[in-house]
Amino acid sequence: MYDITVVGAGPVGLYATYYAGLRECRTKLIETYPQVGGRLISMYPEKTIFDVAGHRSILAAELVRMLEEQAMQYRPTVVLNERVTGLRILGERVIELATPAGNHYTQTAVIAAGCGAFVPRKLDVPGLIDFEGNGIHYYLGSFEPLRGKKVLIVGGGNSAVDWALSLDGIASEVTLCHRTYRWQAHEAMVHRLLSSSVRVKFPYFSLKEVLGEDHVTGAVIWNERSGLEERIDVDAIVLSIGMLTNMEPFRQWGLNIVGNGIAVAPDMSTNLPGVYAAGDIVTYPGKILLITAGSGEAATAVNAAKEYIESGDLGR
């Protein structure tokens, strides 16, 4: 029986694990992937991150390394390659977390599962599905395969802008097209983008067609307002237009789901006793999707879990 079990070993889960150790809780960390780091490692380890407190900028892989080092100080039990598929409240301060490999028991749980079960959002564009794996990318595990290539990035959020800036100077040519009239990326990063050598097609520009035979060789982009089309030569296309999340598994656990997130109170408690959540998986008025914000939520969740545990100890 553990005091706190953290579900998800992304940056927020790692910080929650560290903070639980700091509060001298017997802690377990369960992660679906074969390594800690969540999406930062599995999807974009070479991406530069600019919105973490204390760092002017830092590579995703380096941030994970530092968070892991911090989290392991108090020797938590770490379980990798196990997806939590079920959660049951068995009694007062007894929670069962089920995985295909077996069950785990804990007094409290902190869910830090990022965006939950997710898949990249796709476009209904001629040729796109045919070239998946042959020039179509939804995330970049490494920038090196695109060295000297012509790359088109589709999207206007932080990931799209960050990838464009990261590839500037690695790829021979980078074009970014964004279909709306407003950027979703941080203003400072947009300013850097517009000052870089990246070719920016904005606003109202979107991908209309993917060209090629065995591999992507070009694309047709068009202005949805004017109808103007432009054919460009590209070797790779990166679609960064968000993720589709599946919150149904969490709903089946009995958690209150609002939109695409688990509803939490100010202390990060959910509607289930002893179950807390933090990071991109949660929703509340004013929620922002930042690693720094998620770290604060993790500390709040752990503090609340510790008080919940101690309230039971005092009652015995």
Cα distance from N-terminal residue to C-terminal residue, the chain: 17
Whether residue 314 is predicted with pLDDT greater than 60 in this model: the reply is: no
Whether residue 18 is predicted with pLDDT greater than 80 in this model: the reply is: yes
d(CA 233, CA 149): 10
Buried b (16+ CB within 10 A) or exposed e, 241-253: bebebebebbeeb
Residue 117: the pLDDT is 55
Counting residues of the chain whose pLDDT is more than 70, the rounded percentage is 97
Q: What's the rounded mean pLDDT across residues 165-188?
A: 93
d(CA 114, CA 92): 27
- Domain boundary assignment for the chain: 2-118+244-315, 122-239
**H or E element that contains 96:** strand 94-99
Same fold, 2-118+244-315 and 122-239: yes
Whether residue 284 is predicted with pLDDT greater than 70 in this model: the reply is: yes
Mean pLDDT taken over the chain: 91
Instruction: Determine if residue 93 is left, alpha or beta; phi over 0 gives left, psi from -120 to 50 gives alpha, anything else beta.
Output: left
pLDDT tens for 117-149 read 567 788 888 888 888 889 999 888 788 999 999
d(CA 71, CA 77): 11
Residue 39: the pLDDT is 81
pLDDT tens for 61-84 read 999 999 999 999 999 999 999 999
292 neighbors 53 (Cβ within 8 angstroms): yes
Residue 33: the pLDDT is 87
Residue 316: the pLDDT is 44
Crossing angle of the two packed helices 11-22 and 291-315, in degrees rounded to 10: 40
**The domain made up of 122-239 is a member of CATH 3.50.50.60:** yes
- CATH number for the domain whose boundaries are 2-118+244-315: 3.50.50.60
**Which two structure tokens, joined as six digits, stand for 163?**
């990838």
d(CA 203, CA 225): 9
Residue 150: the pLDDT is 97
* Secondary structure letter of residue 146 according to DSSP: G
2 neighbors 95 (Cβ within 8 angstroms): no
Strands 173-177, 150-154: pairing is: parallel
Whether residue 256 is predicted with pLDDT greater than 50 in this model: the reply is: yes
